[in-house]
Amino acid sequence: MFLRDHVARLKIGMTVLRMNLPAEFNTENIQQLILQLLKHNAHAPHARIRLTVFRNEGGYYTPETNDISFLIESEELTNSYDLNQKGLWVDIYGDIKKPINKLANIKTGNALLYVMAGLAKQSMKLDDCLIVNETGTICESINSNLFVVKNGTVFTAPLSEGCVAGIMRKQIIHLATENKILTFESPITPYTLLNGDEVFLTNSISGIRWVGQFKQKYYTNKMAQFFTDKLNRLTTPTSTF
């Protein structure tokens, strides 16, 4: 889903990392390669696609080339977007803060911060951990963007707070605007969560996952269900690139 947005984000990241962009590296060509892979692997109608771009070898910390190669992988999924039946239990991971810089919004292979947060989640027996940036505000979770709902208004951290520029985040903001739901991009603090009516997480694979508990606060999932229904009414994946 939303392949054109994924490719556009990828190209922005490649430009920031000074990778050369071949002319044939475009949405149409990538879509054809994905369809060939899905056919070859017999992964249909639902599958997870991972497109990884990497700089060609040579030079260690000082690259000898900025030319790129890429790898496309597929993994079969069982269904479309289904909202989780039980709300997630989340808390803050504060041992390592995420820096705010021009690399913060890029989805890269450097996942050490998220791995450490994942280990903390495991040790605390949580469903997810929330990542804080260097100023102490909450920017995202281990693998998702974060939304808070208060009195029917939706809040999410702006990209200037250091969160990944999530494709599903973009779609939720678009759907909110389309359905005349007031939406603000503003810093998220623990107080924001404790004062909210709903909290939900978004990514392209899971769609929306609603949070049931943060510390001693419990949440509903009415808005999360609304957006999940809207996502599932969109057209088929191959026609929405």
Cα(130)–Cα(181) distance, integer angstroms: 25
Cα(201)–Cα(77) distance, integer angstroms: 19
Is pLDDT of 238 > 70? no
Give the model's pLDDT for residue 235.
Answer: 54
Parse the chain into domains and list their residue ranges: 3-76, 88-232
Q: How confident is the model at residue 60 (pLDDT cuts 50, 70, 90)?
A: confident
Q: Where are the alpha helices (DSSP H) in 42-186?
A: 112-123, 167-178
Q: Is the entire prediction scored with pTM above 0.75? A: yes
Query: If you average pLDDT over residues 20-27, what whole number do you get?
Result: 95
Give the model's pLDDT for residue 44.
Answer: 79
DSSP 7-72: HHHHHHHHHHTT----TT-SHHHHHHHHHHHHHHHT--SSEEEEEEEEEPS-STTS-S---EEEEE
Is pLDDT of 240 > 50? no
Give the model's pLDDT for residue 241.
Answer: 42
Structure tokens at 213: 């508990």
| 88-232: CATH, from 3.20.20.70, 3.40.640.10, 3.20.10.10, 3.40.50.460 | 3.20.10.10
Cα(25)–Cα(29) distance, integer angstroms: 7
Query: If you average pLDDT over residues 100-115, what whole number do you get?
Result: 95
Is pLDDT of 145 > 90? yes
Q: Phi/psi zone of residue 152: left (φ > 0), alpha (ψ -120 to 50 degrees), beta?
A: left
